[in-house]
Amino acid sequence: MTGTSPIPVIDLGGLLLISVRGELEDDEAVVLQTDVTDAVARTGSRGLIIDISALDVVDSFLARVLAEVALASRLLAARTVLVGMRPAVAITLVELGLALEGMTTARTVVDAAAGFGVTLTAADAAEQGSP
């Protein structure tokens, strides 16, 4: 399926939240990148939270897409936080030499929001389909 982003971008009021689902084709990732960057620009958000807790594989291509989203967002004055990476994925990325040092990370969406001074309850997060 190309041409449409299957991943909803949720506006938390100043913050954007996306939850990346399990299987992402390369072209879907590129569409996601475009959509998210557009959304950051359009909403003037100061923060972007990317929840990757559903991903069981992140290879160098997806890592690059995520890094570019963070970069673009930064240029748009928004900080990006990567949330919920799984242990096996983290270990593999480190072994690949892609520790994404420039990227901010957080354990949960609630933590990430707190980093922006926004208090989400677990219920809020659950509503958006995230831990």
Partner 1 sequence: MSDGPPDHPTRPGSRVVIGLLRRRREQIAQRWADLPLFLAVFTVTRDEAVEACHAVVDSLVEVGESGRVDDLEAPGFHPIREQLVSMTASRGRSGLSIGQVDREVGALRDAVLELLGAESADLDAEDVAEARVYMVTLLATLRVVVIETMLQENQEIVARQRQQLLEMATPVIKLWDRLVAVPLIGMLDSARSQVVMENLLEAIVEHNATVAILDITGVPTVDSLVAQHLMKTVASARLMGAECVISGIRPAIAQTIVQLGLDLGPVTTRATIADALQWALERDRRGELPAPAARSSAHRTGT
Partner 2 sequence: MTRATEEPLRLPIRRDTDLTVVRQHVRSAAQRLGFGLVQQTKVVTAASELARNTLLHGGGGEAEIRVLHGESGPGLSVSFVDSGPGIPDVGMALTDGYSTAGGLGMGLSGSKRLVQDFAIDSSAEQGTRVTITAWSDPFAARRGVR
Give how far the C-alpha of residue 95 lies from the chain's centroid of Cα atoms, to the nearest Å.
Answer: 21
If one counts every other C-beta atom within 10 angstroms of the C-beta of residue 22, the result is: 8
For residues 28 and 55, what is the distance between their CA atoms, to the nearest angstrom?
14
Pull the structure tokens for residue 50.
């990317």
Q: Is 59 in the site for partner 2 (CB under 8 A)?
A: yes
Least distance (Å) from partner 2 to the CB of residue 38? 21
Q: Is 10 in the site for partner 2 (CB under 8 A)?
A: no
Judged by CB under 8 A, how many residues of this single chain contact partner 2? 21
Positions that interact with partner 1 (CB under 8 A): 71, 74-75, 81-87, 89-91, 93-95, 99-108, 111-112, 114-115
